[in-house]
Amino acid sequence: MLNSVLDPLIQKGRRKKLVEELAASKIFGSRVLRAIGAVPRHLFIEKGMEEFAYKNIPIEIAGKQTISQPSTVAMETELLNVKSGEKILEIGTGCGYQTAILFYMGAIVYSIERQKELYMQAQKNLLKIDYTKPILFWGDGFKGLPQFAPFDGIIVTCGAPEIPNDLLLQLKVGGKIVIPVGDKEQEMLLITRKSKSEFEKQSFGAASFVPMLHGVR
């Protein structure tokens, strides 16, 4: 449990109100809501922006990126249906907030970030809350982490122009990938690997994410 300096009462109250708002939508399960209520989002954003941490809005972070709005984080997490002990690959660590949500839910988390500034900041953010077990990498998310495959689930937190085949092949049979796909307009997809060569695709509506880019910087 965090001390009152890092997680003051006012932020706990704001976080509780956010969870109540998300719960009212009746979209998210109790495990996802519990994680949103436990992980201190205000410790993952820039100083001076803490008062906005528990509003259901995206917030700009370093590297001209954003931390997704809480309902989007909750939606992707809900679709992935994370179970304790599962090995999950995250594409786009960002500030580390989604990483922390997955870890809180019991996942073994591997996460890739292409921007070195964000990769380093995410490590610092996770250390603030004593989350030392997520394994972070600076690298190209399109390539995934084949050396650690197969994964039970893959979550992509940026908009891919197409579905990366390398990521599909890193799923175990029965595994799932949650990924927003599209250029200007994106569609949230849930893809399940049914066999070595068969994949089932489901759509969950429109999405809006920063673009997924090749390479590192």
CA distance 17 to 37: 9
**CB-based contacts of 192, cutoff 8 Å, min separation 6:** 174, 175, 176, 199, 200, 202
Distance of CA 42 to the CA centre of its chain: 16
Tens-of-pLDDT digits for all 217 residues of the chain?
677 789 999 999 999 999 999 999 999 999 999 999 999 999 999 988 999 999 999 999 988 888 999 999 999 999 999 999 999 999 999 999 999 999 999 999 999 999 999 999 999 999 999 999 999 999 999 999 999 999 999 999 999 999 999 999 999 999 999 999 998 789 999 999 999 999 999 999 999 999 999 999 9
Output the furthest CA–CA distance in the chain (Å, rounded). Answer: 52
Instruction: Please write the tens of the pLDDT for every residue from 104-135.
Output: 999 999 999 999 999 999 999 999 999 999 99
Dihedrals φ, ψ of 173, to 5°?
-65, 125
Distance of CA 85 to the CA centre of its chain: 17
CATH number for 9-207 (one of 3.40.50.150, 3.30.559.10, 3.40.30.10, 3.40.50.1820): it is: 3.40.50.150
Supply the pLDDT for residue 76. 98
| Active site residues per annotation | 68
Closest CA to 155 of 44, 31, 68: 68
